[in-house]
Structure 1
Amino acid sequence: MNATLSEKAGARITVPVALEGRAYDIHIGRHQLCEAAALIAAFAPGARAALVTDERVAGLHGAAFETCLHQEGIAATRITIPPGESSKSYPQFIMLCDALLAAKIERNDLVIAFGGGVVGDLTGFAAAVLRRGVRFVQVPTTLLAQVDSSVGGKTGINSPHGKNLIGAFHQPSLVIADTALLDTLSEREFKAGYAEVVKYGLIDDPAFFDWCEANWSRVIAGGPERDHAVAVSCRAKAAIVARDEREEGDRALLNLGHTFAHALERLTNYDSSRLVHGEAVAIGLALAFRFSQRLGLCPGQDAGRVARHLDQVGLPSRLQQVPGGAGSAEAIVEAMTQDKKVKRGVLTFILARGIGRSFIAPGVAADEVRGFIEAELAAAY
């Protein structure tokens, strides 16, 4: 972890994403909406713009952001979608593409995604295919989106067969993360986003995991630790994306816990009243470490430490904590077979030799996974 809390002075933090020919910056700080508008105006002077958001974000922050845009001479057409994972769907994708065309968005214009991961993923995918590609800006409004989904150019929608199975790589031109917007999140939604923060420590930064254990409550409270956590997470993701933009190598490490998580989301029908993405990721992280322990790869104390931290924060860490049940071991394994990391029908997992020592494990036997899940479902935690 090479960022320091010298960032606590309140100055905007800039994290570069170094992609040849498609480089962009992530700007992080509190009360950045009008600064975001100024950056957008400077980036695309005279461009037509569309502002895509959801009903909840529009009610909380839409007028303030539109005022900032107007002050910079940007009259953006607002397009509003319903909140929730169900909007990452074929019908909403078609609606959004048609609305962008009706707004006369052209290749040199700009689409602004103003919302959480659902808005960003859906908007980015529409921008990727509209007129074969238009520019877009990410202004993420949730912790999960600020530290993960807004960075790296993965866009897409869900299918009945699985999560994020239809999409494209389409890098944003700019990302602006206003951490003050996170003050309006529910406690549940903020904690769900925190699962993606702690993931970066578990992948390859044990010092950051140590820091998270000591400072998680301050991250939630919204002090300088929040900006620090967002900045460290974005730096970690930016470094991996710069090395492996299209997930042909170690970018897959960012999916630590996600093979389990996406299966659980599918089995709960993407019903956020039962399970939101970050909660599924938290369970997935704990399972990935316990599975690694079962395979003799990871010390038990490390697997226990991961689960204890998630429990302390108030995140789920066990299959038994899925409201309405997680399903059978057979159903969970079957849901995993649609994971994007499956190759020739064989499961690939991100496993760990310890905290901060994750690795890609291709060719994991389905019987091993099934046996582990059966044991987890039967365990009395």
Structure 2
Amino acid sequence: MENILQNFDVNFNYQVHFTSHLFDPANDCLRNYLETQAVKAYKKKLLVILDAGMAAHYPELPQQIGSYLRQVNGFQLVPEIITITGGESVKNDLPLFLSLVNAIDKYAIDRHSFLIGIGGGSLLDLTGFVAAVSHRGIKHIRIPTTVLSQNDSGIGVKNGINFNGKKNFLGAFAPPQAVFNDSHFLTTLHARDWNSGMVEAVKVALIKDAAFFNWMEERATALSGGNMDDMEQLIYRCAALHMQHIGGGGDPFESGSSRPLDFGHWSAHKLEQLTNFELRHGEAVSIGVALDSVYSYLLGWLSEADMKRIISVLKDMQLPVWHPLLEKQAGKDSPVIAGLEEFREHLGGQLTISLLRSIGKGEEVHEMNVDKLYEAAAICKKLQ
């Protein structure tokens, strides 16, 4: 008998909305979206998982969310708005993950219902994974509340939690149904989180858009100082570039070895783990971007002037460009540099690292010279 070949395409589409004061009764952005998803035959359910930090900053927020969602035609809000601690620790908490899966079961959230995650990137990673594995996939909506999640992780298709000390070891590719970026939520951020979130914009500009990098170079100090108009522009442009990559002929489910949007990330993931996540993700990525930019310079690809421009922008954004863990420890190799193989293993296939041919143009390599990496780290230390 002949083999039977099956082949089919799955079409994904979702929108990223930009607004402010999302749960104000006068704001119909989320309401209009949900009502387009309603059906006459029955009411769909809504389950909300909220970052406890947001609830602390806005004590009235849970009540506002409840009042707003209970007025949406065709939907029923479950009796409880679940509040959990945000930050990277939630991705290391298997009992918390299972408790959220149990909430899906408790409130009978089916594949026509919606899970709404409101918080930073870690919370959205967790809630997206909960949605992806419950009933083999329920619908989820992301409402990112940090700079980092509004311009990068919150608008993408990846979800996951950490396992066995490895970042995002358990996870799934599950696009959201929609994303709602509320700029007002950014006003609660600590300066450290405001600044560290901007590095993903620097990253994507360096590999894709020189003009965007030039724009940030001119405004880096104002951005770091809290200019909201500039920040809204940065988030919109960064989100657009990420979305173009995901849907514009890239590899959204990472079936190959290429991952250009992870420029600067191979060392960042290891730095986060080794510092027990005391380094913010954006701070670790800043160090990784600096390291790989200097390495690109040492290869003769990037001019010294452009390399120093990159370092200056990161420093003007109050971000680090070096960490002691990049140096040899007690005569042994740096644990960060030793993590190259772990990065390859996470992606699979051959090692693939994005470097810079110039500002705005990335290029991939499949090997890294360890001696040059130590040389690059030494230059980062000097420029720090």
TM-score range, shorter chain: 0.7 to 0.9
Q: Deviations over 1:152-206 (max 9, x none)?
A: 2100011234211210100000000011110111111110101112222111101
1:26 to 7, 12, 16: 16
Q: Which residue of 1 aligns with 2:6?
A: none
Equivalent in the alignment of 1:83? 86
Note closer, same or farther for the CA distance 1:22–1:287 as it changes in structure 2 (3 Å cut).
Answer: same
8 Å Cα contact 1:44-1:110 kept in structure 2: no
SS in 2 for 1:301: helix
Corresponding residue for residue 10 of structure 1: none
SS at match of 2:358: coil
1:80 deviates by 2.0
Q: CA deviation at 1:368?
A: 4.2
- Structure 1 residues 219 and 66: CA distance shift in structure 2, 3 A: farther
Normalised by the length of structure 2, the TM-score is: 0.85
Indicate which of 238, 243, 257 corresponds to 1:238.
243
C-alpha deviation, 1:52, in angstroms: 1.1
CA distance in 2, matches of 1:336, 1:342: 10
In structure 1, C-alpha distance between the alignment counterparts of 2:280 and 2:299, rounded to whole Å: 28
| 2:63 corresponds to 1:56 | no
- Equivalent runs, 1:369-380 vs 2, <5 Å: 371-372=374-375, 375=378, 379=382
Over 3 Å counting, the alpha-carbon distance change for 1:374 and 1:229 in structure 2 is closer
Listed as ranges, the matches of 1:139-288 within 5 Å are: 139-219=143-223, 221-242=226-247, 243=249, 244-248=251-255, 252-270=259-277, 274-288=278-292
Check 1:99–1:251 CA distance in 2 against 1; reply closer, same or farther (3 A cut).
Answer: farther
Change (3 A) 1:356 1:377: closer
SS in 1 for 2:334: helix
8 Å CA contact 2:295, 2:373 repeated in 1: no
Inter-partner Cα distance in structure 2 for 1:338 and 1:29? 39
Contact 2:15 2:178 in 1 (8 A): yes
What letter is aligned with 2:293? F
Tell me whether 170-179 or 287-296 shows the greater mean CA deviation. 287-296
* Stretches of structure 1 lacking an aligned partner (at least 5 in a row): 1-18
Q: Give me the TM-score of the superposition, normalised by structure 1.
A: 0.85
Q: Identify if the C-alpha distance between structure 1 residues 350 and 368 changes in structure 2 by more than 3 Å, giving closer, same or farther.
A: farther
Q: Which amino acid aligns with 1:235?
A: A
Question: Secondary structure, in 3 states, of the residue corresponding to 1:31?
Answer: coil
Matching residue of 1:132: 136
**Residues 92 and 338 (structure 1), Cα distance of their counterparts in 2 relative to 1, 3 Å cut:** farther
The separation in 2 between residues aligned to 1:146 and 1:326, in whole angstroms, is 33
Q: Which residue of 1 aligns with 2:4?
A: none
Q: Tell me how far apart the structure 1 counterparts of residues 70 and 246 of structure 2 sit (CA, whole Å).
A: 33
**Percent of matched pairs sharing the same residue:** 31
Q: Distance in 1 between matches of 2:144 and 2:71?
A: 21
Larger relative contact order (CA 8 Å, sep ≥ 6): 1
Paired residue type of 1:247: E
Residues 1:42 and 2:11 aligned together: no
Deviation at 1:362, TM superposition (A): 1.8
Letter aligned with residue 78 of structure 1: I
* Deviation of 1:378 (Å): 6.9
